């Protein structure tokens, strides 16, 4: 089990460093960017889902769309991608 307090800071860092104000993000890409192990996948996807459903006032980004990626992986599972954008760009 991981403590997900670090996720908001990492997401802000990711958005700043990639210099793309609005973009699709997958949990796998995010984990690979920060070289995070697989146990970080669930807390990260949970945080992105909360940004989609609740749109918190104190965080500068929201998730405005969630889509399944077109192809499935080897195990037959699908991957979700999250459209992250600044809260003020709605």
* 3-state SS assignment for residue 53: helix
Pick from 38, 31, 23: which is nearest to 81 by CA?
A: 23
Mean per-residue pLDDT of the chain? 87
Mean pLDDT computed over 28-41: 94
Q: Is it the case that residue 2 has pLDDT exceeding 70?
A: no
Q: Is it the case that residue 69 has pLDDT exceeding 80?
A: no
The pLDDT, as a whole number, for residue 1 is: 41
Instruction: Encode pLDDT of 37-57 as tens digits.
Output: 999 999 999 999 999 998 777
The pLDDT, as a whole number, for residue 64 is: 95
Is the Cβ–Cβ distance between 84 and 63 less than 8 Å? Answer: yes
Q: Is it the case that residue 28 has pLDDT exceeding 80?
A: yes
How does DSSP classify residue 4? G
pTM score, two decimals? 0.84
- How many H helices and E strands in the chain? 3, 3
Q: Is it the case that residue 4 has pLDDT exceeding 60?
A: yes
**What is the number of other CB atoms lying within 10 angstroms of the CB of residue 54?**
11
């Amino acid at each position: 089990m991981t403590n997900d307090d670090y996720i908001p800071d990492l997401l802000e860092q990711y958005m700043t460093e990639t210099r793309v104000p609005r973009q699709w993000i997958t949990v796998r890409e995010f984990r690979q960017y920060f070289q995070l192990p697989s146990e970080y996948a669930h807390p990260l996807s949970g945080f992105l889902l909360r940004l989609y459903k609740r749109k918190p006032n104190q965080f500068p980004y929201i998730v405005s769309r969630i889509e399944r990626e077109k192809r499935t992986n080897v195990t037959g599972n699908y991957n979700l991608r999250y459209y992250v954008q600044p809260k003020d760009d709605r």
